[in-house]
Each structure stands twice: as structure tokens, then as C-alpha cells.
Structure 1
Amino acid sequence: MSFLDLPFDTDAMVAGLRPWIECESPTFDAAAVNRMMDLAAYDLAGLGTVERIPGRMGFGGSLRVRLPHPDAGKPGILIAGHMDTVHPVGTLEKLPFRREGNLCYGPGIQDMKGGNFCAVEALRQLARAGMQTPLPVTVLFTPDEEVGTPSTRELIEAEAARNSYVLVPEPARDDGGAVIGRYAIARFNMETVGRPSHAGARLSEGRSAIATMARKILDIEAMTGPDCTFSVGVIHAGQWVNCVSSSCRAEALSMAKRQEDLDQGVARMLALSGEENGVEFRVTRGVTRPVWEPDQPGTMAMFELARDIAQELGFNLTAASAGGGSDGNFTGAMGIPTLDSIGVRGKGLHTLNEHIEVDSLPERARLIAGLLMRLT
């Protein structure tokens, strides 16, 4: 029997995916992420040795499953994915799981529970068919990718180092293509410290941390150029409207195609620290994803294999380097052959219109099954 003949059933996959989507798992809710890991552990329990790795730094735990294999312990294939989403608990009220023709909606369905589920279903169908992969397979699901993977980067890198290949079922690119390189990303924590006063009776005595932060945000975003981008996505400040705020915190993100451009961007950001009109502005560097340089020989060989499999399945698979970091940044930067974004097709990730194309579920599951059977 060939992987081409595996009986992937679209309706059954949608039904199996639904509990995953209806188990909301925002990154900062460790208990919610752990509930999602419970569901994934249950679905993987019959396939191999399930290990729950406790979380740290306030995040949820991870799930690692090693499938049985005659060459267990030797370098093989790592399937790496994250189970956290950007959607807070309660998003299901605005974005309920629903299927409308070939589209299926829900928080985290595209990024990246749909792709993770395809990988699990590929492993289940291979096991049911009694098909042994040439190489040992390990699955690692982690809880904190959406905030830069601060608590599990070391775990991912250590697991990747034990393997010859890494598959990352992040959502496919807009044209359905895979990712063979990713831009560098740096995060920054910013704080302004001013002087409080009564906004009505003593306005002139205060120094507004909010006003200074607002001006700094405009300056930072104006630094965006063709080689390096800057954006501010989080602001926290103020408790009383009749008080001049003495503290404001914000978070910024910078992205560049080349590491040297990101390094220059980091230097520009850190140089902004200082004092202005009695308000101190502090910039500290947060988590960073390194550049994963495209066109590495091992990765390109994986892509050529994936493209051949896709042609057998009746579709064309393209590849490109991409922005929007993933844990593939880490494994690719280590020089380990990595094929990213082989997950589901869809649109609207990180929005209240997040959805997938239903027919991409069996398509991507079969693609992953093919890679598992042909990577040697």
C-alpha cells in the first residue's frame, strides 16, 4: 500500500479537528494551553510514547511523542508545532467553529491547529495501514510560539539537534506554497517614566508618560524602511483620566530579511533610550528569532521531494522565504534541513475571519505522510 492510497476522509478530519478549535488556548493562559495539550495527547496516545513536559516562565507545558521504530534513538524526523493562539478565551462567541462549504472557521484553525491535526492524522493513517517510516519520528507541540518562544526555544533546538529533518506544519503561504527560509525578528520592551500630577488642578506639574510614548511610537514606526521594519503592537498605561500618567509600557517588533539589517535595527532601537522633557524612555531587547537563510542544500532537497510528492497528489507546490517568524527560524538557523508552512491553506490568521480551505486537510495530511515515508 502507498501513502497515495491512505483513506483520508475530509468529513472525519473536520469532525476530529473541531474539539481542538473549540478548546481555546491563548498563549498567556497556561491552563487553557494545557487543556489543548491534553486533547492532542489523547489523539496521539495510541501512536507512541507520550511525554508531558512541564511549563515554565508562566507558560503552559509541552507535549512530546516518540513513535516506535526499529532505529529508535537514531536521527530521524521532528514534527514541530505550537498549540497556543493569539485569540483570548471567549473568541468563540465571535468566531465560532463553523463550516460553510469548503471553508471552515475558528480561532487558531489556520495558525496552526489545522496543520498540527493534519500531521497527527497522517501518523494515524500510516499506523493503521501498518506502514513503517524509514526514519524514526518525533512530534513536539509547544505552548508559546505566538510570543516568540521564550520558554521552549532550548527544548526545540535540543530536539532538532537529535534529528536529521524538521517538518513545521505552519499555515501555507497565500499561494499554498511552503517556506524554505524566514526573516529575522526582534521584540522590544519599552517604558516611559514620567511625573504624576492631578490632571485638572496641577496639569503643568506633571510629565506625561503616555504623551512621550505616543511621540516615540510615531518616531519608531517612521524608522521602517525596505531593509528593516518597525511596528508597535501593545500599549499599557493609565488608571485614572484625572491623573497625569507616570508610567507607560509598550512592545515593538522589528523584522529584517538579513541578520545584519536586524542587528542595525536593534542598535537603532536601543539607542532611543534616554530622557526628554523630564520623562525617561527605556528600551530593552526581548526575544529574537534569527534569520533562517533560504536555499540551504538540505532544505532545498526536502522541498524538491515535497514538490514531487505534491505533483503526484495533483497540485503544484512552490517555495519561498517569508516573514512572520516561526519555530522553523531556530531549526533552519541551526542548519538542520527544515520545511516550513506545509500546513493547511486558508486566510485571516490572527483575525476574526480566520479560516481554512477544508479540502486542504486531506491534501496536507497526505503530503506529510508522503514526506514521512520518503525522507531517508
Structure 2
Amino acid sequence: MKPCVLALALLSALSAGAAGAQQLSPIEERIVAEVKARSPAAIGLLERSVNINSGTMNHAGVREVGQLFRRELDQLGFKTSWIDMPPAMQRAGHLLATRAGKQGKRLLLLGHLDTVFELDSPVQKWQRQGDRVSGQGVSDMKGGNVVVIEALRALHRVGALDNTSIAVMFTGDEEDAGDPKDISRRDMVALAKNSDIALAFEGTVLDQDGRATATVGRRSSSGFALEVKGKQGHSSGIFGERAGYGAVYEAARILDGFRQHVIEPDLTFNPGVILGGTQVGYDELGSRGTAFGKTNVIANAVTVKGDLRYLDTVQRDRAHEKMRAIVAQHLPGTSASIAFEESYPPMAVTPGNLQVLALYSKASQDAGLGAIAAVPAGLRGAGDIQFVAPYVDSLDGIGATGSGAHSPAEDLELASIERAAIRTAILIYRLTR
């Protein structure tokens, strides 16, 4: 039986086995009531966090959001600390909160404080429209952070956090993880190795029928850098034997070759920035570039920066081979090279991940919130969970429900905070008994 078929069969068996299990216990009903009683205050906490710009490179803003959530975790009896990164890495650091106990599973809860909206972003902050709200990072993933806080708060209020082992890490650079990653994710990996289950609170994706899903697998993320050279000369000579085709035409040929010959299911490659002309420069740290050229001069240089996402290393190696072959087919008068850089490892779909999903789905069903299905791995981007998934059973995508992530239209369904916090609180309660 193929691994994917085995995984689906196991999930069906687990779901069927859970169907006849207990409904909410009296203490679980109290937990739900605590979450619901806090719903207006939870929205207020979300609003305060969204109104603080915390683009990855706005280190002061990231720390300010971290301090906001740190105060909440302090009140819940967690031991909190701020993990600084080396200055050369140009990252704000991470918030860590821990409780030490001996009861039940050891849990690691993951969120992130940063957003893609930097300090100079024109995107508005908190804007409420009825039952939805838009704003910087409202669903990716300040909403997920609030879900964590409110679930833990409900458990704290009924005394269910006593003697549990729970670590909470909110990273400050998930949207642009600092390099080297063996340093920026070192503490997270160490926590995972001392945990039994990891839960991450990126946004919940709805299926085509509007039902909630969760993530048991995610594609890897890597980058590619394409450098193209041509012969600078008078534009009237373009296409000629002496002048050749120039760097811009060669870059266009290569990228279109990728589009025509490299595409396959669950594989994507995105040229996110392209600079061409007679003088080009790219600032890696700031993700910004400059280009100079004239319409009557053949461009002699093009720089392309992009990402490449894949399900496994076999698919990665196949894509690399095809892309290198396309790059090597130079137009006259040009040359080009491509380099690849690894970023996020894959999160494989494992029996352990599927078992955590089954338990989460059962918690949701018992609370009257419906079953939770697995979202196809190819539909999710990269996330912090992928650094810990090789070491611990993992589940992601259990935060709030929104749309338009990373765009000016990013928004959130406010009621999803309460739903996700209820599911999470019940799951944590059951895992830590």
C-alpha cells in the first residue's frame, strides 16, 4: 500500500474509532464557557496586536507585540523569556513561555509575531466591517496567537494547566527566517526534541464546502537566483550576430522555459523580483533592488530572485535538473547561471500527524463545531512547523480563519477566534490528562 493511501486509511480508522467516544465532560463544558465569556476581550487583544506594526525588519515593533503577549502568558503562570538573535542576523528574536509538569503529553505551541507588512507599508491597520476585520497580520498570524492565549487562559481558569508541560514559542521572523537557520531555529528544534506533540496556529483553511481543515503536511521552501549576462551595445544591433539577444531576452526565454517544461503537481516556482538593464543591484537583506538602462542600449545584466516549493527531495532534484538544463540553452551572445538555496524542510504526512488530527477533529465534533479534515499538503506554503516536524508528531493550520494573507485584503472572520480557541483548549486538556 502506498504511503499516502496508508495515511488516509489510518485517518479513516481513527475517525471511525473516535465517533462513538465521549462528548464533553463537565470540566470541558466549563472550559468552553470560559472561552466564550472572554470572546469580546479576545477581540480587543487582537486589535491591540494588529495596531502595532511588526514587519519582520521592524525589530522594535516585533518586540512590542512580543511584550503584549508576554504579559498575557505571565498572568497564566508561564515562565517567560526573550531569546535574542546575534546582531549580525538582523532579526528581533523570539518569545518563549514554558510550564514544567509531569502530567500527560509534553506540548509545543507555535506562533509568530512578525508580519509581511513592514513599517512603510500602506496597508491599513485594524478596520472592522461587521463580523470581519482587516489589518496587518490579522490572520497571518496574530489571530492564531490570540487563539493560543485564549485557549490557555480558559484552561488556567479551571485549573487544568497545573502540572502540565507546555512550551509556547512565538517567533519574530517566521515570514523571513533569519540565516543561518540552524541558529534562528535552534531553540525551537531543541524544544521539539523535548516534546511529544507540536501544534502550530497558522490560519485555518476552509474546504470547498466551507468546512475547517488542518495541516498534516507542508511543502518545502527553497530559493533560486538566476544571473543572466548579455553584450551591451546599441539597440539597433539587437538580434544581430555580433550583438546577440541581450540579457533581458535571455531571461525571458529561461523563465518561459520553466513555465512550459518544469510545472508538475504540487511543484511551484515564483520569480518574485526581476531587475534588468546595464546596471543592476539587489539588496538581499532588504529585498530591494535598483536597475538602470536606456531604451537605445542592449541590456547586459538581469537578476532574478524567486522561490521553489516541493513535496519531497525527489521532486526537488527533478526540478533542479530540468531548470539547469533550460538555463544552459543560451541565446546567441548571452550566458546565464542558476543557484539554489534551501530554506524550509518538508513536513511529511505521517501516521503520528494523522493521529493528532483525529484527536483534534474529535475535540471539534464533541464541541459541536464539526469534523476537521486534512488540507492537501500542496495547498499550504512553508511554516515554522516544518523545522520541528522531523522530530515530533505535528499539526498546523489550527488558528483563526481568514483570507487574503500577505495582501492588502488580508482579513479575518472574528467568530473563528472563539471556535479555534475552543477546539484547541479541549485538545490540550485531553492531551495533558
Fold-level match, TM-score > 0.5? yes
Tell whether 2:62 aligns with 1:16. Answer: no
Task: Show CA shifts across 1:51-84 (max 9, x none).
Answer: 21112422221111112x3339x97100112222
The answer for the alignment partner of 1:52 in structure 2 is: 82
Q: Deviations over 1:102-142 (max 9, x none)?
A: 11111211111101111022222322333226631111111
One-letter code aligned to 1:84: D
Counterpart for residue 119 of structure 1: 148
Q: Contact between 1:149 and 1:327, CA under 8 Å: does it hold in 2?
A: no
Task: Decide which structure has greater helix share.
Answer: 2
Aligned equivalent of 1:173:
205
Q: Work out the CA distance in 2 between the residues paired with 1:88 and 1:24.
A: 7
Cα drift, residue 165 of structure 1:
0.6
- Is 1:344–2:375 an aligned residue pair? no
CA contact (8 A) 2:34 2:157 kept: no
Alpha-carbon separation, structure 2, partners of 1:79 and 1:245: 50
Match status 1:109 vs 2:135: no
Contact (CA 8 Å) 1:292, 1:329: kept in 2 or not? yes
What TM-score do the two structures reach when normalised by structure 2? 0.77
SS state at 2:216 partner:
strand
Unaligned runs of 5+ in 1: none
Secondary structure of residue in 2 paired with 1:136: strand
Equivalent pair of 1:109/1:356 in contact (CA under 8 Å): yes
Distance 1:133 1:212 in 2: 64
Instruction: From 170, 174, 196, give the equivalent of 1:141.
Output: 170
Does the alignment pair 1:187 with 2:223?
Answer: yes
Q: Aligned partners of 2:139, 2:424: CA distance in 1, in Å?
A: 16
Paired amino acid for 1:234: V
Give distance in 1, aligned partners of 2:368 and 2:75.
31
Instruction: Say whether residues 1:225 and 2:232 are aligned partners.
Output: no
Question: Which one of the candidate residues 325, 328, 332 is aligned to 2:385?
Answer: 328
Asked if structure 2 preserves the Cα contact closer than 8 Å seen for 1:196 and 1:206, the reply is: no
Is contact 2:152-2:425 (8 Å) kept? yes
Per the alignment, residue 34 of structure 2 pairs with 6
1:59-70 → structure 2 map (5 Å cutoff)? 59-67=91-99, 69-70=100-101
Aligned equivalents of 2:275 and 2:114: distance in 1? 22
Give the deviation of 1:335 after TM superposition: 4.6
The number of aligned residues is: 371
Q: In the alignment, what sits opposite 2:281?
A: none
State the Cα distance separating 1:99 from its structure 2 match: 1.5
Q: Give the unaligned 5+ runs of structure 2.
A: 1-26, 278-290
- Whether 2:334 is the aligned partner of 1:306: answer no
Cα distance in 1 between the residues matched to 2:403 and 2:174: 19
- The separation in 1 between residues aligned to 2:105 and 2:364, in whole angstroms, is 25
Q: Which of the numbers 235, 239, 246 marks the counterpart of 2:274?
A: 235
Letter in 2 for 1:53: I
Q: Given that residues 75 and 162 in structure 1 are in contact (C-alpha distance below 8 angstroms), is that contact kept between their aligned partners in structure 2?
A: no
Corresponding residue number in structure 2 for 1:287 = 342
Deviation of residue 15 (structure 1)?
1.0
CA distance in 1, matches of 2:403, 2:97: 30
Would you say 1:252 and 2:306 are equivalent positions?
A: yes
1:356 paired residue number: 412
TM superposition score normalised by structure 1: 0.87
Asked if 1 retains the 8 angstrom alpha-carbon contact of 2:222 and 2:308, the reply is: yes
**What corresponds to 1:131 in structure 2?**
160
Given that 2:35 and 2:422 are in contact with CA atoms closer than 8 Å, whether structure 1 keeps it comes out as: no
Structural mapping, 1:189-204, within 5 Å: 189-196=225-232
Which stretch of structure 1 is more off in the superposition, 362-371 or 253-262?
253-262
Partners of 2:243 and 2:335 in 1: CA distance:
16
Q: Distance in 1 between matches of 2:274 and 2:68?
A: 34
Measure, in 1, the Cα distance between the counterparts of 2:273 and 2:35.
Answer: 45
SS of the residue corresponding to residue 34 of structure 1 reads: helix
Q: Is the 8 A contact 1:134 1:373 kept in 2?
A: no
From the superposition, tell whether residues 33 and 220 of structure 1 become closer, same or farther in structure 2 (CA, over 3 Å): farther
Which of 299, 318, 329 is the equivalent residue of 1:264? 318
For residues 86 and 78 of structure 1, what CA distance do their matches in structure 2 show? 24
Cα deviation code 1:26-52 (max 9, x no counterpart): 224434333332333233233322221
Q: 2:185 aligns with which of 147, 150, 153?
A: 153
Please report the RMSD computed on the Cα atoms of aligned residues, expressed in angstroms. 2.9
Q: Deviations over 1:254-283 (max 9, x none)?
A: 223343112211333344555654443222
State the shift of 1:177 in Å: 0.9
Report the 3-state secondary structure (helix = DSSP H, G, I; strand = E; otherwise coil) of the residue aligned with 1:174. Answer: coil
Compute the displacement of 1:181 (Å). 1.3
